[in-house]
Amino acid sequence: MGRLFDGPFLRRLESLRYASRRVPRGGRPAEQTSKSLGGGVEFADYRAYVPGEDMRRVDWMVYLRLGKLFSRLFTEELDLPVHVALDLSDSVFLPPERGRAALQAAAAFSWVALSGQDRVRVHPFGADPLPGFGPVSGKGAGMRLLDWLEGLGPSGGTGIEKTLRRIRGLAGRRGLLVVVSDFFSPSGIGGVLEELARQRHRLLLVQLVHPHDSEPPFQGEIRVIDCETREERDVTVTPAVLERYRSAWKTFQEELRSFALRRGAYLLPLQVTVDVISQVEALFLGGRLPL
């Protein structure tokens, strides 16, 4: 295990769980409460026995008392499909702390899922979707996932819309979509939000925020170069220009926040210069993240 994920890092995540009220049917047995009643351990109800049913579910005490056969029904506990869309564009690795935080966040949210026997699938992307990891479940896959994450690095431009479209097109049950990104799409935040709005999964948006994003430390004559498109722009940084920059940043933030509110999505502005796990822990109130 490299420096990204060490023992203490993982131990702090052990107690965190996603708490879904009702996971769709059809999953594997796990810890999430499902909508279907079946072979779980938590009693839910009685039902008149139908011939052909498993005789082991018949409640014989009720039969002795009432003389009728009733089957006991249990809440079925299934797994939660968790998709982690991980932005590996160059902008995420500028500065490197942001990339490190992105990998740690992806690892954290994946590890929490694996700890709860949920199924995890990681969708890394650069300008285009990259080969992903999973779906996997169980803690045993956790170490492989971490090893795999360790090997990731910057991969060019930002193709977040493509990736989200692809995730939307995947067959499977509705689950949780964790998007770890800076959301700096060259076409603007509008396209990203549109695509997010079309997702059927619950959304957890992890925005990677560096202090310089809101307060650029420049003055005088500079030539700003986009690290992905290599587009250049000459700027004379004056207080007025800085003010307009802050205003643009604020609008961007506001758009993201209002979208999250409308959609009922979680939005975690992850400060990349601060400890990642503590920020993730703060999101899991009482160790549970209700979905």
Which part of the chain contacts another protein (CB under 8 A), choosing from 134-142, 146-154, 168-176, 239-247?
239-247
Q: Could you tell me if 84 and 106 are in contact, meaning their C-beta atoms sit under 8 angstroms apart?
A: yes
Dist CA 150 CA 5 (whole Å): 9
**Nearest of 254, 273, 257, 275 to residue 265 by alpha carbon:** 257
Which part of the chain contacts another protein (CB under 8 A), choosing from 101-109, 141-149, 179-187, 192-200?
179-187
225 interacts with another protein by CB under 8 A: yes
Residues between 60 and 99 that touch another protein (CB under 8 A): 90-92, 94, 98
Backbone angles phi, psi at 263, to 5 degrees: -85, -10
249 interacts with another protein by CB under 8 A: yes
Dist CA 198 CA 179 (whole Å): 14
218 interacts with another protein by CB under 8 A: yes
Count other Cβ atoms within 10 Å, centred on residue 224: 13
Least spacing, CB of residue 86 vs another protein, in Å: 16
Strands in 70-78's sheet, in edge-to-edge order, are: 29-38, 70-78, 42-48
Which part of the chain contacts another protein (CB under 8 A), choosing from 12-20, 31-39, 128-136, 180-188?
180-188
8 interacts with another protein by CB under 8 A: no
Least spacing, CB of residue 37 vs another protein, in Å: 49
**Nearest of 110, 115, 106 to residue 138 by alpha carbon:** 115
182 interacts with another protein by CB under 8 A: yes
User: Residue 54 or 221: which CB sits closer to another protein?
Assistant: 221
**Nearest of 122, 124, 154, 174 to residue 228 by alpha carbon:** 154
245 interacts with another protein by CB under 8 A: yes
Which part of the chain contacts another protein (CB under 8 A), choosing from 14-22, 195-203, 240-248, 270-278?
240-248
Dist CA 104 CA 272 (whole Å): 10
Least spacing, CB of residue 124 vs another protein, in Å: 18
Dist CA 98 CA 149 (whole Å): 15
- CA dist 230 to 4, 157, 162, 186, 191, Å? 29, 10, 21, 11, 21
Which part of the chain contacts another protein (CB under 8 A), choosing from 25-33, 114-122, 165-173, 246-254?
246-254
172 interacts with another protein by CB under 8 A: no
User: Residue 2 or 96: which CB sits closer to another protein?
Assistant: 96
20 interacts with another protein by CB under 8 A: no
Q: Which residues bind another protein (CB under 8 A)?
A: 90-92, 94, 98, 182, 184, 186, 188-189, 210, 213, 216-229, 231-237, 241-242, 244-245, 247-249, 252
